[in-house]
Amino acid sequence: MRPPLHQLPLDLDLQAPHALDGFIGSENLLLRALITQQAAGLGELQLFVHGASNMGKTHLAQAACFYAGQQGRTAAYMPLKQVSADLDRMGFEPNDLVVLDDVDVLAGNAHSEFLLFDLINRLREREIPLLMTAHHPPAQLGFKLADVVSRLAWGITMVIHPPNDAEKIELMRRKTEERGFDLPFETAVYLLQRSPRDVGSLLEIIQQLDHASLSAQRKLSIPFVRSLFFSGESH
């Protein structure tokens, strides 16, 4: 199997491998299927995925790269919030998949907008699949170059839907199980009622619980969780 990432700035690295099946939400099933097909080289040439902060855009972007690698395909991943200046120095064409995370950071910079325009054209000409993420649909990103907006909308545009409470609880319990400890249902409900409700924040809490549980050698009961995060609330 070839490495999943042919191009990646040397001072960056992907987070721990994300799986596409770890992206939850019944309303996101079609989105997940489209990304899976694209990463395998069987789907759309271009996908544009948008959603609010902490909705899992980077999770999907990186998961697509890992899935492509599992299929023996190479992928180029560019986290543009960190390396937008490198867009003109990267060779994307040798890859089987190109992923541009947070393309909205390029809006308003004439040079960056032209580079994006040129890249999309080159990839389409060579039939190399392109996955892009942003906070809003193409027409709402503030790009000045009209041709860029039209290129961003060439393929399918999909929004990430937030999971419902039951799906969030299922995710929290599954993530704790993957880490080797148990999160009782009633404790998960208690956390969800008192914590930020976006998935990113909930996963950060799970990571904190993992360390706290190991350190204290205690089960994740409601009293223990209360002592960690909500010690000031009335019982």
Q: What is the pLDDT along the chain (235 residues), one digit of tens a residue?
A: 333 344 443 233 444 456 676 677 778 889 999 999 999 999 999 999 999 887 888 888 988 998 999 899 999 899 998 876 667 666 676 789 999 999 999 999 999 999 999 999 999 999 999 999 999 999 999 999 999 999 999 999 999 988 889 988 988 888 888 888 889 999 999 999 998 877 778 888 888 888 888 777 788 899 999 988 887 665 5
Where do the CATH 3.40.50.300 domains begin and end in the chain? 5-159
Query: CA-to-CA distance for 46 and 139, rounded, in angstroms?
Result: 16
* Helices and strands in the chain, H and E counts: 9, 6
Each as own residue / partner, the long-range contacts of residues 215-220 (CB below 8 Å, 24 or more positions apart, any chain) are 219/182, 219/184, 220/176, 220/181, 220/182, 220/183, 220/184, 220/187
Enter the pTM of the model.
0.78
Using CA atoms of 58, 157, 138, 164 in order, give the dihedral in degrees to the nearest 10.
-60
Q: What is the CATH architecture assignment of 165-229?
A: Orthogonal Bundle (1.10)
**What three-state secondary structure class fits 215?**
helix
CA 20 to chain centroid: 9
CA 16 to chain centroid: 12
Task: Compute the Cα dihedral for 126, 129, 130, 136 and give only its sign.
Answer: positive
Where do the CATH 1.10.8.60 domains begin and end in the chain? 165-229
Residue range 5-159, CATH number: 3.40.50.300
Backbone angles phi, psi at 97, to 5 degrees: -155, 135
